[in-house]
Amino acid sequence: MDSDCLSLLPAVCLVLADPKQSPPDDTSLEKLLDWFKEMHSQSNEQVLLQHQPCLKEFISSVCTSKTTDPAILSFTLKLTGLLACTKQGFHLLEVGGLLVCVFEREAWFVCDLWEDASVRSGWLQGLLNMLKHRQALDFICGNGLLKVILQLQNDGSLFVACLANQLLVHILNFLTSSNMTNGSDAVESRESSLSPDWVSVSSEIMNGVVEALSSDDHPRVLQGLRLLSSVPSQCGEPIRSTLWKDVLVPLEVLINRGSESLTQPLMTVLQAAVMTPLLGQSEYKVKELLEAMLGSGNKNESFQCAALTIKLEKCPEVLKRKAIDIVLLPLQCVSAQSQDTAEKMNLALKEQLSKKASCISHLMQSLSSLEELAYTKYQFEGISIHSVTSSVVLLLRICSGHYPSSLIQNNASTRLIGCCKVQRCGLDTLGALSVYEENLNIRKDIFGVLLDYLKSPDSHATVLKKTYQATVSWIAVCSPFPDLLQFISHDLFPVLKKRMCDLRWEVRDSTLEFVTQLTVALNGNSGFIEALHTSGMVSILLSSLADSEGYVRASAVAVVGEAVDSSLHHTVLVCKSNLLEEALKQMMTILSQDTEGFPRRAVVKAFTSWLKGSHLVTAVHPFLSSVLSLGCNDFDWEVKMHTLELAEVLMEKTLTCCPYAVQNFGSSEKELMQALSKLKEFGLFDLLFNSLFDCDRPVCEKACALLLKLRTLTSESADFDSTLVLNVNGNRWGDEVQSRYLNTQQAKGSVCTSDERMDSGLHCIKDISLPMILHILDLDDMQRTLRLSSDHVVNSPRSLMEDILSAAQQSEDNIVDCY
């Protein structure tokens, strides 16, 4: 493939360098660069430049042309950098001053091309590509390019500025890397110091950072902070500590000034520092700086800082605790019922909580931080998780308009009534708090508030969804308690029944999903299953199978499937509620008649999970062949995929019934035979062969994989030849098999030579044995082709180059036409 491409390369270079041609689009150029990059990594030091002189010509012609397009120039810069990233390549380009010609913008014929941001970004990218060896750094410093890079750090284009930053960090990083040190003592010298040659380079960059941080220009400060945040993680010593020492003073000034817009970038810098050994050394003051950021929780930005501090990995425990104290303040204050909590509230917070927007954002910060802590099961100290959880419960009550009159912050409360944002966030947090066992004794309160939300006619569909999620997590942890069943059957089920008849389909859908999750979470709890059947839930679930909305029908199928699965032990219940019979009847109707794909997919999935279940449902068996044939002929490719998955499970289950492992294969051949005939009865082979020639690639691939499995299994024995035969007449796949069969026979030269005999041959090959079919279909080859993505031809570099060439060709034609 690559040799094809290489042969096209000169022509492509000519097209690209031709100023009369409009340049290909950016994506094509990027793809071309990707291809170069790949070539380079595969070439094992073999230099592309040597074999492809057209590249050098291309580069020099672009640089000397007076009418170069910015996109082509940018491409050339990146390409040059890429070609010069090996010492050899660099050397080849440096000879004759080509490299200088490319990267010295004074050397360009058209100077104002620099004004184009894509050119500047290409220039930086080129240098970044090149900077893989010491010569490259020499080149950058020797030609005074460092100054330009430092200037570009404050470029108007964000991409350029960002790239400049990246390049500077790369240079700093490079100074301490093994490339810069000679020979074996690389590791030691990295730790000790920088070679004096490079001190000036590093100090030039570092001074730039210090200047930026002390500047009054906000964007400059931001850029400085951005660079600074990359250094600790990317650069080694001594650069890291030297730089940190230099910036400590301006950093402190910035932190103490406390500008809200800088909070995030400053925290990113500190976050990067926390991850390094800088944290452990007191002279670098990382901890102090973090503490200063937090303040005492009396500044607006301290809440944001606190929230970010909590997220810090490796955050010192003292700081984390302080941050937690701060971040939880809004939550505690809004839900404060006693004066002492309210006293904690300082002026800044009071003011923030009195405004609706900031009150909501602070509460959300409190809640999401709490949620995050709960995910790690953080052990709070000094704060009881009990009281925090109660605060969340109270906040949720406030948001739904039910709250005690003893609240201190009454004003804030009325503003929060019906606020969906806080409700959703609070419910997420409440769900996460279920990890703390201490909370189990307030489960009554918690279930109470969750139930209120489920009952409330004003609950938004998304809020209900969150309520369900929280309820599931609490039910999962409370399952050992006997009062849970009481709650479910007396309180929860009546609400769920109503919600399954909600006006909004989203609510009906999430309710059904919730019942599915509930059934999964309480699987094996016989009390629950009994309640499900005796409370009339089953009949409503079954009636949901006829919902007007496809998504709801799909969820109903899933929940009915789950209910059947978990009820199988309780034969009496199942018979009484007629669940299985009714479910099968309605599901088959859906599979054969539903106009939407989702419910049909769900039906096949339900059958799959029934089969997977430990107790094989014999009642399902009579339906399997219909499911397989309906699924196979479905319009929706996903239904077909799910049908194949069902087939896979069916194969596993049927074939593992007999111990068909290779070692004792001989003894159980008969059983295998029986299993295969059973599969044939189900119509499994028809499904697999039909799917093999399906129009959807994933379907064919899956079928092919399953057939390969079958082949391994049957190839061991020749006995099947006579016994397990399939009719190949009158279906899609049969024709293909027949023609292949005849081809192989012809190749052998043994059978038909004349037309007559072929006819009779055709006649006699109506039935072919399964192993034979598997053999004549070249499944391995089919699998190989199917594995390639369907666009593999279109996506190849060769096609890319051809596109570029033909586009140029066409434009030439057009010119002629116009003329």
Of 414, 523, 571, 664, the one binding other proteins (CB under 8 A) is 414
Query: Is 500 one of the binding residues for other proteins (CB under 8 A)?
Result: yes
Nearest distance, CB of residue 586 and other proteins, angstroms: 12
Of 156, 457, 524, 622, the one binding other proteins (CB under 8 A) is 457
Segment interacting with other proteins, rule: CB under 8 A, options 373-381, 503-511, 771-779, 801-809: 503-511
Nearest distance, CB of residue 401 and other proteins, angstroms: 6
Query: Is 504 one of the binding residues for other proteins (CB under 8 A)?
Result: yes
Segment interacting with other proteins, rule: CB under 8 A, options 157-165, 291-299, 379-387, 454-462: 454-462
- Tell me if residue 298 falls in helix, strand or coil: coil
Cα dihedral value 744, 750, 756, 761, nearest 10: -50
Query: Please, which residue, 111 or 546, has the CB nearer to other proteins?
Result: 546
Query: Please, which residue, 177 or 534, has the CB nearer to other proteins?
Result: 534
User: How far, in Å, CA of 423 to CA of 466, rounded?
Assistant: 9
Query: Please, which residue, 97 or 536, has the CB nearer to other proteins?
Result: 536
Query: Is 238 one of the binding residues for other proteins (CB under 8 A)?
Result: no
Query: Is 184 one of the binding residues for other proteins (CB under 8 A)?
Result: no
Query: Is 338 one of the binding residues for other proteins (CB under 8 A)?
Result: no
One-letter identity of residue 438: E
Cα dihedral value 504, 508, 513, 515, nearest 10: 140
Task: Report yes or no: 315 and 309 within 8 Å, Cβ to Cβ.
Answer: yes
User: How far, in Å, CA of 753 to CA of 747, rounded?
Assistant: 11
Q: Name residues contacting other proteins, limited to 639-658 (CB under 8 A).
A: none
Nearest to 548 by CA among 580, 605, 502, 494: 502
Query: Please, which residue, 429 or 535, has the CB nearer to other proteins?
Result: 535
Q: How many CB atoms lie within 10 A of CB 182?
A: 11
User: How far, in Å, CA of 562 to CA of 606, rounded?
Assistant: 8
DSSP character string of 91-130: HHHHGGGHHHHHH-GGGSS-GGGGGSHHHHHHHHHHHHHH
Query: Is 565 one of the binding residues for other proteins (CB under 8 A)?
Result: no
Nearest distance, CB of residue 594 and other proteins, angstroms: 15
Query: Please, which residue, 506 or 719, has the CB nearer to other proteins?
Result: 506
Q: Residues 6 or more apart from 653 whose CB is under 8 A from it? A: 611, 616
Nearest distance, CB of residue 730 and other proteins, angstroms: 41
DSSP state of 457: T
Query: Please, which residue, 15 or 449, has the CB nearer to other proteins?
Result: 449
* Structural Rg of the chain based on CA atoms: 36
Total residues binding other proteins (CB under 8 A)? 28
Segment interacting with other proteins, rule: CB under 8 A, options 104-112, 308-316, 386-394, 399-407: 399-407
Query: Is 575 one of the binding residues for other proteins (CB under 8 A)?
Result: no
Nearest distance, CB of residue 416 and other proteins, angstroms: 11
Cis check: omega of the bond before 659, within 30 degrees of 0: no
Query: Is 502 one of the binding residues for other proteins (CB under 8 A)?
Result: yes
Query: Is 458 one of the binding residues for other proteins (CB under 8 A)?
Result: yes
Query: Is 405 one of the binding residues for other proteins (CB under 8 A)?
Result: yes
Segment interacting with other proteins, rule: CB under 8 A, options 196-204, 401-409, 623-631, 646-654: 401-409
User: Which ranges of 522-636 does DSSP label H, i.e. alpha helix?
Assistant: 526-534, 537-544, 550-567, 571-577, 579-593, 597-612, 621-632
Q: Report in angstroms the alpha-carbon separations of 232 from 213, 448, 798.
A: 16, 49, 42
Query: Is 503 one of the binding residues for other proteins (CB under 8 A)?
Result: yes
Query: Please, which residue, 430 or 540, has the CB nearer to other proteins?
Result: 540
Of 501, 575, 718, 788, the one binding other proteins (CB under 8 A) is 501
- Tell me if residue 237 falls in helix, strand or coil: coil
User: How far, in Å, CA of 190 to CA of 748, rounded?
Assistant: 71
Q: Name residues contacting other proteins, limited to 417-436 (CB under 8 A).
A: 417
Nearest distance, CB of residue 548 and other proteins, angstroms: 4
Query: Please, which residue, 83 or 542, has the CB nearer to other proteins?
Result: 542
Nearest distance, CB of residue 576 and other proteins, angstroms: 16
Nearest distance, CB of residue 325 and other proteins, angstroms: 29
Query: Please, which residue, 241 or 456, has the CB nearer to other proteins?
Result: 456
Of 278, 407, 475, 563, the one binding other proteins (CB under 8 A) is 407
Task: Report yes or no: 560 and 516 within 8 Å, Cβ to Cβ.
Answer: no
Q: Name residues contacting other proteins, limited to 65-84 (CB under 8 A).
A: none
Query: Is 612 one of the binding residues for other proteins (CB under 8 A)?
Result: no
Of 87, 497, 621, 697, the one binding other proteins (CB under 8 A) is 497
User: How far, in Å, CA of 439 to CA of 370, rounded?
Assistant: 14
**Residue entry with tokens 């150029």:** 29
Burial 388-410 (b: 16+ CB within 10 A, else e): bbbbbbbbbbbbbeebeeebbbe
Query: Please, which residue, 277 or 536, has the CB nearer to other proteins?
Result: 536
Task: Report yes or no: 50 and 86 within 8 Å, Cβ to Cβ.
Answer: no
User: How far, in Å, CA of 474 to CA of 492, rounded?
Assistant: 13
Segment interacting with other proteins, rule: CB under 8 A, options 25-33, 189-197, 402-410, 609-617: 402-410
> Per-residue x/- mask for other proteins, residues 539 to 558, rule CB under 8 A?
xx--x--xxxx---------
Segment interacting with other proteins, rule: CB under 8 A, options 49-57, 215-223, 496-504, 516-524: 496-504
Query: Please, which residue, 125 or 459, has the CB nearer to other proteins?
Result: 459
Query: Please, which residue, 407 or 774, has the CB nearer to other proteins?
Result: 407
725: enclosing H helix or E strand = strand 725-727
- Tell me if residue 569 falls in helix, strand or coil: coil
User: Which ranges of 417-524 does DSSP label H, i.e. alpha helix?
Assistant: 420-432, 443-455, 461-478, 483-486, 493-499, 505-521
Nearest to 168 by CA among 243, 101, 93, 241: 243
Segment interacting with other proteins, rule: CB under 8 A, options 175-183, 308-316, 407-415, 641-649: 407-415
Query: Please, which residue, 94 or 502, has the CB nearer to other proteins?
Result: 502
Binding footprint of other proteins on the chain (CB under 8 A) = 401, 403-405, 407, 410, 414, 417, 456-458, 497-505, 536, 539-540, 543, 546-549
